[in-house]
Structure 1
Amino acid sequence: MSRERFSLAGRRVLYTGAAGGFGVDTTCAMLEAGATVLALDHDADNIARLRATVPAALAQRLEIVKVDLADAAALQAHLDRLVSNGPIDVVINNAAIYPSRPFEEYSDEELTRVHRINVGAAVQIVRAALPGMRDQHWGRIINITSITLSGGWENLLPYVQSKGAMLGNTRAFAREFGKWGITVNAISPGAFPTDAEKIHPDPEGYERMVLERQSVKRRGHAGDIASTILFLASDEAGFISGQTIAVDGGWIMH
């Protein structure tokens, strides 16, 4: 997929988890495509890495917002400021946490926190961006779901639950917002070598398992996600909505 054809010139993109595993490459790709990127993240080390990676010629169109998505009031204050400066054209709900333990060991507070960060913040962001998208009769919402929805993983109940909610949100938003020229789609990444893999006790065994199950015999990289996001955010994807695109090397097939 050639990135050059997907222009985002003049678009304002709000991207959560923008300094994380997939985020840096995608942020750079969107900046190269002409977008202004409002990068929401809370990890100071990742933010520093993002700042250092973005070319100086593109940095003027990058605004980094350091915010904990668990703090609804702080997030809302940032959203109010961002939308006061103009419509948000593209929302990418990517940020998520993924504590791993048996179901009976999760506390109610932890279940609530995972849902707040992985789902509640995304809904809050869409609510803030929707009026501007509706007024201009154009918008893109891209939700990152997960291969774990296939049921092949254990000890991830709140994460899988949250990604199921994001899939439901994708379809409900797509049905409701389409009349305003807004498309809503999901991307389901496969097993990518990001920090999320550090929860596995046997990294080499895990990698063998991944490659055995994929039909494409290489590991995915952040650029695979970036290219898919660029496409879904572009005018060329304007007749695609309510869909989930699996970027997983041919692991899960529907």
Structure 2
Amino acid sequence: MKLFDLTGRAAIITGGSKGLGLAMAEGIAAAGGNVVLVSRTQAECDAAADKIKSLYGTGAIGFAADVTKQADMENMAALCLKEFGSVDILINSAGINIRGAIDELSLDDFTKVMDINVTGTWLASRAVTPIMKKQKKGKIINLASTLGLVGLANRTPYTASKGAVVNMTKALALELALDNINVNAICPGPFLTEMNEPIKNTEEGKKFIVGATAVGRWGVLAEIQGVAMFLASDASNYMMGSCLLVDGGWVAR
């Protein structure tokens, strides 16, 4: 089990105050890791950090930041290094989804999704890279999506952004491999996060999301933890540029 032990390692999780980000942060903490939880709201970050400290007894810090701002991402990386002595893991989980037909969406809608999902992932990765290079080790885990691999109507901003994350993951993996930095992605399917609550009981949600999975249901947040813990640990040291599906068999259909 030493392969999966994260004791003493430090992880940054953007979008870490709720949803899949918080679930993955809990997985890292359960394996012994310290975490920096990042979102726009300090109160939400602090509440999530308090929850992790009380449940797992590991170090946890909340940090309010905007992933689209370079200075915020650099300050985030510096805080983790100062508080925990290293930056071993980055999980890029911050993301948004704006749904709608292309002729009903605005350019601002498209730009907002691309800024957070793509630019935010790039800036956070850029901020930790010099630290990880100096350490000669690190793990960068990007949250892509099944919709980075297949299409779905009325999702042009989101699918474009997650497709970009998939290829960014591959390019960055090639760039950093010789520095002993692993860059991989998780492609979640339909998890019942706050982002998906608006379509939970709609015909679309029942037919095109839940009905399309092999298991016939939404994913439970805790079901993302295992793959995140795996990619953060030494068990995945030979993986570079991989995109792991956690989708209840949706893409298999």
* AA matched with 2:39: D
- Residue 30 (1) aligns with residue 25 (2): no
Measured after TM superposition, the shift of residue 173 of structure 1 is 0.8
CA contact (8 A) 1:83 1:129 kept: no
Mapping of residues 207-222 of structure 1, within 5 Å: 207=206, 209-222=208-221
Structure 1 residue 235: deviation in Å? Answer: 0.3
**Alpha-carbon deviations, 1:85-135, whole Å to 9, x = none?**
533111111110111122233333333322221111221111121122222
Note the residue ranges of structure 1 that are not aligned, 5 or more in a row. Answer: none
Q: How far 1:23 moved relative to its partner?
A: 2.3
Contact kept in structure 1, 2:148 and 2:166, CA below 8 Å: no
Give, in whole Å, the separation in 2 of the partners of 1:9 and 1:130: 21
- Is the deviation greater in 225-234 or in 192-201? 192-201
Query: What TM-score, normalized to structure 2?
Result: 0.88
Q: Which moved more, 1:233-242 or 1:104-113?
A: 104-113
AA aligned to 2:21 is G
Distance 1:178 1:157 in 2: 31
CA spacing shift, 1:172–1:108, aligned 2, 3 Å: same
Q: 1:102 to 1:9 in 2, by over 3 A?
A: same
Closer/same/farther in 2, CA of residues 217 and 110 from structure 1, 3 Å limit: closer
CA distance in 2, matches of 1:207, 1:214: 10
* CA offsets 1:204-254 (integer angstroms, 9 cap, x no match): 662354343222244321121111000011001111111111001111139
CA, structure 1 residues 164+117, in 2 after alignment: closer, same or farther (shift >3 Å)?
same
User: What is the distance in 2 between the residues matched to 1:204 and 1:46?
Assistant: 32
Which residue does 1:184 correspond to in 2? 183
Equivalent residue runs for 1:1-254 within 5 Å: 6-43=4-41, 46-47=44-45, 50-51=48-49, 53-56=51-54, 58=56, 61-84=59-82, 86-200=85-199, 202-203=201-202, 206-207=205-206, 209-253=208-252
Query: Gapped runs of 5+ residues in structure 2?
Result: none
Change (3 A) 1:226 1:247: same
- 1:58 CA drift (Å): 3.8
CA distance in 2 between counterparts of 1:150 and 1:82 reads 32
* Amino acid paired to 2:220: H
The amino acid that maps onto 2:104 is E
Structure-2 change in CA distance of 1:139 and 1:79 (3 Å) = closer
1:43 Cα deviation from its structure 2 partner: 4.2
Which range moves more in the overlay, 164-173 or 189-198? 189-198
Shift in CA distance, 199/44, structure 1 to aligned 2, threshold 3 Å: farther
Deviations 1:172-199 (A, max 9, x none): 0111111111111111101111112233
Q: Root-mean-square deviation (CA), in Å?
A: 2.6
Preserved CA contact (<8 Å) 2:49 2:61: no
Name the CA shift for 1:249/1:132 in 2 (closer, same or farther; >3 Å): same
Change in Cα spacing, 1:25 to 1:81, as seen in structure 2 (3 Å) is closer
Distance change in 2, residues 1:210/1:113 (3 Å) = closer
Give, as a single letter, the amino acid of the residue that structure 2 aligns with 1:29: G
Supply the distance in 2 between the matched residues of 1:59 and 1:43 (Cα, whole angstroms): 23
Q: Aligned pairs, how many? A: 252
In structure 2, what is the Cα distance between the partners aligned to 1:143 and 1:186? Answer: 5
Letter of the structure 2 residue corresponding to residue 142 of structure 1: I
Larger deviation, residues 224-233 vs 57-66: 57-66
